[in-house]
Chain A
Amino acid sequence: MVPTNYYLLLSAILFGLGIVAFVFKRNIITIFMGIELMLNAVNLAFVAFSQSLGKPDGEVFVLFVIIVAAAEAAVGLGIIILTARNRRSLNVERVDLLKL
Chain B
Amino acid sequence: MSAPLVIFFALAAVAVLGAVSLIVQREPIHSALSLIVVMVALAGLYLLMGAEFVAAVQIIVYGGAIMVLFIFVIMLLNAGEEERTNLSRLAYYAGIPLAVAVTGLIAAAMVSSSAALPARAAETLTSTRTLSTLLFTEFVYPFELTSFLILVAILGAIVLAQREN
Contact = CB atoms under 8 A, between A and B. Distances in A.
Interface of A: 1-2, 4-21, 23-27, 29-30, 32-34, 36-37, 40, 43-45, 47-54, 56-57, 59-60, 62-64, 66-75, 77-82, 84, 90-91, 93
Given A33-B22, A81-B77, 15 more contacts: A11-B110, A13-B107, A19-B102, A37-B35, A43-B42, A43-B58, A47-B54, A50-B51, A56-B126, A59-B126, A60-B139, A78-B157, A78-B161, A80-B73, A91-B85
Main secondary structure of the interface of B (DSSP, over half): helix
Contacts of A21: 19, 22-23
Interface residues of B, number: 83
B102 to A, nearest CB: 6
B13 to A, nearest CB: 10
Interface of B: 2, 4-5, 8, 12, 15-16, 19-20, 22-23, 28, 31-32, 35, 38-39, 42, 45-46, 48-51, 53-54, 57-58, 61-62, 65-66, 69-70, 73-74, 76-77, 79, 82-85, 87, 91, 95-96, 99-100, 102-104, 106-107, 110-111, 114, 117-118, 120, 122-124, 126, 130-131, 134-135, 138-139, 142, 146, 149-150, 152-154, 156-161
